Structure 1
């Protein structure tokens, strides 16, 4: 099977060790199909050791063999690209409904386009007593557009400078996460379509990363770009590449910050947002990048959604290290999936 990117095959499968059993009396077998980099960052010894103690065994999917001939699996965890793999896992889902696939390829693909990923947030219209959640005004520039026409398109759409430029397609590569800030309309011609242009919202230089693992929500703070004043905007021109604000050095959880900026979004608002997006996206594993509009207490914007984020997003640190209590959260989540299926069997 040909896939995009380096893959983890059955040859590096960990030796299966007996663990404690779940309340159903069965061990939980999780088949994984991950790139080698993702496997290295995700399946850390501390994590797999805890999983074994809870009765969970991770087994590598052998991509050289037909998937239906392997297993049996309770859960399949995957993050591979390529149309052939997507067809394989989708066919498997249809013929093995008893196996939980994390997550459906079509649902994951939905987050590979920055236009479609945020449309679900727009459709939610989340505005209640706990706050308001929306997205920044944005404009999609397709590949067919001549870069020289971008300033005209921006003016026609009534977009306000500065603008954040993001690649339209999110394919897991570092390039798809390269962001730029355009200060003047003339420099927009230097950008390369296809892309999404978002109005920059002053947010006090702080970003909230909201991790969703099943029904569990964890929030961490990260430093982001500082506010841009009208005076600065009038003096600066050009397009500037974003610094990587999500690396380890950008952690803001232990920093001495203005409480008006650092206060987490209201929990009821996050629970409603996560619940609605889980339903609309059809996903169990994703994270939301959210900002609070500077000078407000309850006006928030979702600026990105990532599926099962990994090492490309944060070089130098693994995803689980970004999320508090990651190992326990994820193992409990895996157990909850199999326990809910077991309870259904008992009632049928």
Structure 2
């Protein structure tokens, strides 16, 4: 429970936006039940996700966001209807798992053990590969890849043995929420491979016209935005001395390609029925409701797509209309829970 007069993160955001700052949870609008959402997020995620436009709409809908104090027992806080979280420490994951067992009435988004699947790029794409999704709207694949745990000098032999074809995209094996975990390298000369830094994943590079599709999943809702990505390899200066190009995060919002002058064949969004099928299957297989899929279309192949990354609780603040989508999703969770209680299931 909060000390009277203490200002929470959402109240601070409201103050920054010039809005009134309540010192206690606001009453729900007439005819609505108040929904309390506890959140355990990094400061960076709080700033990008709990934007004033989300908080203002949430208050109108009777949704109140409350910051969880990690230094105090979770059982002493709340009560919560829903818990949102994106912290990666083992201690926090255990706290949350214990809380889920003690409070099955609280919806935790999402189970820590399910999220773990996306913290490792070796396991991340396995569900997509096993899915083998192909229908009349297209085919969804994963790039061939290889995991290198240590000894960079062994990489050329390992690549040859696996039959991978250069160029290769090198990505850190572990996804821990830091900017470093999203840094990429493109290796296109065999002699450059020993200069890479394990543990990492090597993926065969697929030419895709320099456009990436970020497919946001919020429960059953799907939204897609275009981002600029790595350009096709034939546009690089292959005279580079060390044979490796290093990139910061390439698909961030600053690389927005929504209104760019791009060849329509490259810019065309993946078919909605294909995305709905993919989203439904991955929700079921991963056991997650908040994630995004990074997808590319093979250049020259209108109907072949590759999933190259999956991220948990991505930057929803960059998704157009996210405040409406997310608040509706939170309300739907509670409505579904009450329907189950009323039906006795």
Specify if TM > 0.5.
yes
Instruction: Show the 5 A alignment for 1:120-159.
Output: 120-143=127-150, 146-159=151-164
Instruction: Show the 5 A alignment for 1:186-265.
Output: 186-229=191-234, 238-265=243-270
Cα offset, 1:234, TM superposition: 8.5
Q: What CA deviation, in whole Å up to 9, does each residue of 1:2-23 have, x standing for no partner?
A: xxxxxxxx87354334243486
The yes-or-no answer on 1:44 pairing with 2:51 is yes
How far apart, in 2, do the equivalents of 1:171 and 1:231 lie? 30
- Equivalent of 1:71, from 66, 69, 78? 78
How far apart, in 2, do the equivalents of 1:63 and 1:223 lie? 37
Secondary structure (helix, strand or coil) at the match of 2:207 reads coil
CA contact (8 A) 1:19 1:56 kept: no
How far apart, in 2, do the equivalents of 1:22 and 1:173 lie? 42
Cα offset, 1:347, TM superposition: 1.7
Pair 67,295 (structure 1): closer, same or farther in 2 beyond 3 Å: same
The yes-or-no answer on 1:115 pairing with 2:117 is no
Instruction: Show the 5 A alignment for 1:291-306.
Output: 291-306=296-311
Partner of 1:54: 61
How far apart, in 1, do the equivalents of 2:73 and 2:296 lie? 44
How far apart, in 1, do the equivalents of 2:68 and 2:239 lie? 56
Secondary structure (helix, strand or coil) at the match of 1:101 reads strand
Secondary structure (helix, strand or coil) at the match of 2:203 reads strand
Provide the TM-score with structure 2 as the length reference: 0.90
Cα offset, 1:220, TM superposition: 0.2
Q: What CA deviation, in whole Å up to 9, does each residue of 1:38-67 have, x standing for no partner?
A: 112211121111101001001111223211
Q: What CA deviation, in whole Å up to 9, does each residue of 1:102-145 have, x standing for no partner?
A: 111111111000010100100101011110001011011113xx
Q: What CA deviation, in whole Å up to 9, does each residue of 1:305-326 have, x standing for no partner?
A: 011124xxxxxxxx41x21111
How far apart, in 1, do the equivalents of 2:175 and 2:236 lie? 34
How far apart, in 2, do the equivalents of 1:48 and 1:103 lie? 21
CA contact (8 A) 2:100 2:108 kept: yes
Partner of 1:340: 336
Cα offset, 1:32, TM superposition: 0.8
Cα offset, 1:95, TM superposition: 1.2
Q: What CA deviation, in whole Å up to 9, does each residue of 1:139-163 have, x standing for no partner?
A: 11113xx111100110111111100
How far apart, in 2, do the equivalents of 1:251 and 1:115 lie? 28
How far apart, in 2, do the equivalents of 1:26 and 1:284 lie? 23
Length, aligned pairs only: 327
Provide the TM-score with structure 1 as the length reference: 0.89
Cα offset, 1:237, TM superposition: 5.3
Cα offset, 1:27, TM superposition: 0.6
5+ residue gaps in structure 2? 1-5, 12-22
CA contact (8 A) 2:175 2:181 kept: yes
- Across the aligned residues of Structure 1 and Structure 2, the Cα RMSD in angstroms comes to 1.9
Cα offset, 1:230, TM superposition: 9.9
